[in-house]
Structures are given as structure tokens and as C-alpha cells.
Amino acid sequence: MEEKDQELYKDFLEGNEQSFEKIISKYKNNLIYFITRYVRNIEIAEDIFQEVILYVIEHKEKYDFRYSLKTYLYTIAKSKSIDYIRHERKTENIDDNENLADIRIT
């Protein structure tokens, strides 16, 4: 099974977009579910999934064939999910600080 993923990825590196589409269709639902477990929102998970796909396309040469493609995709998904959570926490802290500033002024 993993060999087939790697063969598809090699084809993708050679310019075969259909091979990449096969990889994506194979992992899409499970990756979105995986991301949802981090972010707790299906719409956000779908957006992050798109970021994962864009990352792979933009950095397609980074994949190391010594490792499972599935692991590579899930690692990127986890990283993007954690980045999203960190960003949201910073945004919440900024909002909280602004609210505190409003309270002090009044």
C-alpha cells in the first residue's frame, strides 16, 4: 500500500496531477477528521486541509521517500492545526487585553 503511495508521489513529482489527486482523495476524509480533533470545527478543519495540500504542492521536493507518505501528510496536518490554535490563542489574548484596557478607562 505504501509503495503505491510513493509511486503516485513520484508520478506527481514528474508532473502527473492525477496521481496527486488520487493521493488526496485517499487521505482527505481521514485528514479532515484528524484536524477536526485539534480545532473542534469542521469548516476550519477543511480550511487547514487545504493549507496542507498547498504546502505539499509548494514544497513537493521536501518529501523524504524513506518515510511513509501518510505520516508526512499527518505531520503537516498536525503542525498546521497547532499553528492555527496558537494563532487563535494570541488573538484571544489581544482581544482580552483590549477589553481590559476599556474597563480601566471607564
CATH C-level class of 2-105: mainly alpha
Tell me how crowded residue 69 is: count the other CB atoms within 10 A of its CB: 19
Question: For 61, which DSSP code?
Answer: G
> Would you say 31 and 74 are in contact if contact means Cβ atoms under 8 Å apart?
yes
CA distance 34 to 53: 15
Whole-model pTM: value is 0.84
For residue 1, the SS3 value is coil
pLDDT in tens, 64-95: 999 999 999 999 999 999 999 999 988 776 65
Instruction: Tell me what the mean pLDDT of segment 95-102 comes to.
Output: 58
> Tell me, what amino acid is at 42?
I
